[in-house]
Amino acid sequence: MSRIYSIILSFGAFIVALDQWTKHIAMGHFVQPGDTTPFLPWWSWTLVHNFGAAFGSFRGLPESVRSIFLLLMPMSVLGMLWWFYVRKYPRTAVIGPLAMGLVLGGAIGNLIDRMRFGYVVDFVDWFYPSSGGCLPGFYKFTPGTCHWPVFNVADSAIFVAVFLLIGESFFVKETPPSKKP
């Protein structure tokens, strides 16, 4: 079991370090929320203080409820993931522990922000030009553009982890336990 935990902790620590480093750079580069620097025609660096959960959800809750919810939710999710998945991984598993490391690092990276600032620092802004409506998940921010909610490295790690876990469930076959004669 120690091999699995070392994979999880290694990837988790890497994501926390990368997440906090990139947020430090973003906060040093921008003066206030809303400041933006174009990077590519469909990508900008834009500082956002996210007081809600994923995609800004739950930001309308009263502060006392939101604070408790947003601090307890990541810890509860990590506990449930450990209980239902991690402790059952076979010794040779790689994809699942890697995904769990990404989730752990992403959750801790955003939790550090919540504890330090009271919000999560987001800065990656993806968008596309549109004269009509936006695709699902995107929203109109400025006339003529549809934006994905601004995100960070921690959010990206969790997103990648979800797809790894989905892929693992479809493509990795469990080997049945061998029968002893």
Question: Angle CA(14)–CA(17)–CA(23) in degrees, nearest 5?
Answer: 135
Q: How far apart are CA 160 and CA 99, in angstroms?
A: 8
Q: Which of 19, 113, 125, 155 is an active site residue? A: 155
> Residue 122 catalytic?
yes
Q: Which of 19, 113, 122, 125 is an active site residue? A: 122
Q: Residue 93 corresponds to which amino acid?
A: A
Q: How far apart are CA 172 and CA 162, in angstroms?
A: 15
Give the Å distances, CA to CA, from 44 to 27, 98, 141. 15, 29, 13
Q: What is the side-by-side order of every strand in the sheet holding 36-40?
A: 36-40, 43-50, 120-129, 145-147, 139-140
> Residue 35 catalytic?
no
Question: Catalytic residue numbers?
Answer: 122, 155
